[in-house]
């Protein structure tokens, strides 16, 4: 039987910023919070950490590059929650500047995950978004000098995609679906490295804020949508 319980999904959330976003949503979101990981074992290890801390996120395997995996998540959300209320597109990969992998291969694999992976997830899950839903997507074209990096190219694509998606939702019969992208900042994760300036908790702040933005729809001020954010503030980048 389909539940009326609201649902939030964070892609690539068994470690790093995604892990902290899940933690924040467990504290602040009234509904099921889904932690996702490519490998089930990695997700189970993360879930154990949450359970030991008194949190109860749900686990679902997800490979954003595998349409079968993405569709399995969609069917589970429809069956168990009747749809989706919050989507955080966090999953991403990045090659280091000194990587010996040819740039053409770096670009292909990075764009496949960081851009087309987002497209795959959105194509599957946007049709089941409830009215007043929020989609937060991580995107930053230039981070600590990586402006010519394939990672930056992929994130620029996500930032542009956000604007296109919001224009589509502005004409959608479902009311007040909000899409935004953000830069979480240089964060001490497996991707960001140990010298980064932000903790994972700090890096998760703006993505969490955007994920919960739809809860502020009862305010009199119109909420920014289709925008790029840093430190909870809209940034002009175009």
Specify the 3-state DSSP secondary structure of 32: strand
User: 48: which 2 tokens?
Assistant: 């154990």
pLDDT at position 221:
66
**Residue 151 appears among annotated catalytic residues:** yes
For the chain, residues with pLDDT lower than 50 are: 141-148
User: What's the number of CA atoms in the CB half-sphere (13 Å) around residue 76?
Assistant: 18
Q: What is the pLDDT of residue 217?
A: 58
> What is the tens place of the pLDDT at every residue in 6-57?
999 999 999 999 999 999 999 999 999 999 999 999 999 999 999 999 999 9
Buried/exposed code over 193-209 (b: 16+ C-beta within 10 A; e: otherwise): eeebebebebbbbbbbb
According to the model, what pLDDT value does residue 237 have? 76
E-assigned strand segments in the chain: 7-10, 32-37, 58-61, 84-89, 129-138, 178-183, 228-230, 233-235
**Cα separation, 102 vs 154, whole angstroms:** 16
Token pair belonging to 82:
């009747």
Domains and CATH numbers, the chain: 7-235 (3.40.50.720)
pTM of the model: 0.93
Q: Which pLDDT score is estimated for 140?
A: 56
Of 34, 126, 146, 151, the active-site residue reads 151
The residues, ordered by sequence, that sit 6+ positions from 176 with a Cβ below 8 Å of its Cβ are: 131, 132, 214, 217
């Amino acid at each position: 039987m389909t539940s009326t319980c609201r649902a939030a999904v964070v892609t690539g959330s068994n470690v790093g910023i995604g892990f902290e976003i899940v933690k924040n949503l467990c504290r602040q979101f009234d509904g099921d919070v889904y932690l996702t990981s490519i490998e089930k074992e990695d997700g189970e290890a993360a879930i154990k950490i949450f359970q030991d801390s008194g949190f109860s996120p749900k686990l679902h395997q997800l490979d954003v590059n595998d349409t079968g995996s993405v569709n399995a998540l969609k069917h589970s959300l429809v069956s168990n929650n009747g749809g989706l209320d919050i989507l955080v597109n966090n999953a991403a990969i990045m090659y280091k500047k000194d990587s010996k992998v040819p740039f053409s291969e770096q670009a292909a694999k990075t764009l496949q995950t960081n851009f087309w992976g987002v497209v795959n997830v959105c194509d599957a899950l946007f049709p089941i978004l409830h009215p007043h839903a929020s989609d937060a997507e991580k995107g930053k074209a230039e981070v600590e000098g990586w402006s010519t990096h394939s990672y930056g190219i992929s994130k620029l694509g996500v930032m542009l995609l956000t604007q296109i998606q919001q224009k589509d939702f502005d004409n959608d019969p479902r009311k007040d679906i909000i899409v935004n992208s953000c830069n979480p900042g240089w964060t001490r994760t497996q991707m960001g490295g140990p010298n980064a300036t932000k903790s994972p908790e700090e890096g998760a702040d703006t993505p969490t804020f955007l994920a919960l933005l739809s809860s502020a729809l009862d305010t009199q001020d119109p909420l920014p949508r289709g925008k790029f954010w840093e430190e909870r503030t809209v940034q002009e980048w175009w």
